[in-house]
A and B are shown apart, each in its own frame.
Chain A
Amino acid sequence: MRMSRPVWMLLAVAALVVIPLLIGGEFAGADGQAAAAIEAANPDFAPWFTPLWQPPSGEVEGLFFALQAALGALVVGYVIGRRHGRAKAEAERHGTTGPAARNA
């Protein structure tokens, strides 16, 4: 069976995420590591400005990251659905599968 391009690509993405988990590590954020490197090189360093608002806990931070991903996915999904709906309606109106469908 020949896998379609999106399928094998998504499997490859999944592998890229899972392999590091199998290798193991602390998986701290790269930005935090950069901050640590700056502080290590400049012992008296302190950020001169702090965020106006910080999520009070890791859970709340997770909430906002999930919200960001969900909002984006909602819009991407809506646009994909709309385009497919329109392509289908057009194909039906012309009584053919359309010139575009032939090459897929």
Chain B
Amino acid sequence: MHIMEGYLPASQSLAWYAASAPFVVAGAVRIRKIVRERPEARMTLAASGAFAFVLSALKIPSVTGSCSHPTGTGLGAVIFGPSVMAVLGLIVLLFQALLLAHGGLTTLGANTFSMAIVGPWVAWGIWRLGRGAGLSMALTVFLAAALGDLATYLFTSFQLALAYPDPVSGVAGAMIKFGGIFAFTQIPLAIAEGLLTVVVIDALSGRVRDADKIGVLAGEAR
């Protein structure tokens, strides 16, 4: 669930656009480099974007009695690093803003920052940490994708709290309020996203040893 059209003050809309822009440019450069140097990886890149397309179209009921959707950005972040997802996530958000009135053009910068930048960077960070700590591929991917998903929605809550601080308790109080709406709803969805990301990695890489899967998908090893 993204921030709705027209719900951020113009100054903050612009600020989030400005904050997102360098990540998107860096992502575009990175994608060009991957496509040029690792033709093997092109297919995985397409699948990573497509996975975000599928997952962010699925509005799923949650135990809080409301609905939200996963983001699907952890997959590409784990395989290619977080920068590529800034571009792929932006494409998903544009599609939803233009054709579904979901999210919006004025909030595109903010939504890109939460879903296509913060989520993937958290996912990638957890992936690196987990690998460093010697956790298994599947568990690390699960944690990376699930916590990246959750981070996106925590950040969305923070963005709204910044725009609409509580008159008494300020940004922190508003953060708790919006977090209660977005983040709690998201917990089961984040778990689902973590599981689905592992399933898709298994399906994409086929009969390859777990430890080699991500490398094969990234086009680094055969």
* Chain A residues with a Cβ under 8 A of chain B: 5-6, 9-10, 12-13, 16-17, 19-21, 23-31, 33-35, 37-38, 41-42, 47-55, 61, 64-66, 68-69, 71-76, 79-80, 82-84, 87, 98, 100-101, 103-104
Contacts and interface: CB of A to CB of B under 8 A. Distances in A.
A33 B177 CA distance: 11
A72 B10 CA distance: 32
Contact of B50 (A20, A25, A27, A73): A73
A23 B177 CA distance: 23
A102 B67 CA distance: 43
Contacts of B46: 75, 79
B207 A68 contact: no
A79 B57 CA distance: 19
Contact of A72 (B52, B64, B192, B206): B52
Given A38-B160, A47-B6, A83-B204, A69 B188 contact: no
A30 to B, nearest CB: 4
B134 to A, nearest CB: 19
Nearest to A84: B206
Given A31-B4, A33-B181, A42-B164, 18 more contacts: A5-B199, A10-B195, A12-B192, A16-B191, A20-B64, A25-B64, A27-B67, A30-B68, A30-B186, A31-B68, A34-B1, A47-B6, A50-B5, A53-B98, A69-B57, A73-B50, A75-B46, A101-B207
Given A30-B185, A31-B3, A75 B47 contact: yes
Contacts of A41: 164, 166-167
Interface stretch (B26-34, B99-107, B125-133): B99-107
A5 B57 contact: no
A83 B98 contact: no
B58 interface: yes
Contact of A20 (B61, B101, B166, B200): B61
B192 A30 contact: no
Contact of A21 (B4, B43, B61, B99): B61
B185 A13 contact: no
- Which residue, of A47, A49, A53, has the highest number of chain B Cβ atoms within 10 A? A49
B51 interface: yes
B58 A69 contact: yes
Contacts of B204: 76, 79-80, 83
Given A55-B101, A76-B50, A79-B43, A34 B66 contact: no
Contacts of B203: 6, 80
B23 interface: no
A83 to B, nearest CB: 6
